[in-house]
Amino acid sequence: MASSSTTPSPKFPTPESVKESSAFKQLEPKTSISGFDTQKPPPQELIDTCVHCGFCLSTCPSYRVIGKEMDSPRGRIYLMNAINKGEAPLVEATTQHFDSCLGCLACVTTCPSGVQYDKLISATRHQ
């Protein structure tokens, strides 16, 4: 009798699963700013170009060393989106994830969706 073997498909985190993660829940406001300022927040249309495929993970040095989703381009984009929508506060714990980005932009060259991460992280850094 032949055994049927199916290879499990990779499971990518959804915005909902990221919000339920322990890393996201640790973002309880200590000192909180409700969100990004109105001058130059990360543009929502650039955030929305990310399809959360995860190709950026293997090229991101901070993710490879730290190993946490929130310290990857995809995780930071989840955070930017949540802050833009008022679902997460802009607190020290959040900024630590943004600050862990080295700015090498290896993620930009590997992204099949053409996410302009350089513009997103630049708009986030001055916040």
- Secondary structure of 45-88 in HEC code, one letter for each residue: HHHCCCCCCCCCHHHCHHHHHHCCHHHCHHHHHHHHHHHHCCCC
Mark the ranges of the chain whose per-residue pLDDT is less than 70. 1-19, 21-34
Class of 15-125 in CATH: mainly alpha
Q: What are phi and psi of 56, to 5 degrees?
A: -70, -25
Structure tokens at 27: 């973002």
What pLDDT, on the 0 to 100 scale, is given for residue 24?
Answer: 62
Q: What gap in Å lies between CA 74 and CA 48, rounded to an integer? A: 11
What pLDDT, on the 0 to 100 scale, is given for residue 97?
Answer: 95
Structure tokens at 108: 């930009």
- pLDDT tens digits for range 65-85: 999 999 999 999 999 999 998
What pLDDT, on the 0 to 100 scale, is given for residue 9?
Answer: 46
What pLDDT, on the 0 to 100 scale, is given for residue 8?
Answer: 46
Q: Specify the pTM.
A: 0.74
Q: What gap in Å lies between CA 79 and CA 20, rounded to an integer? A: 13
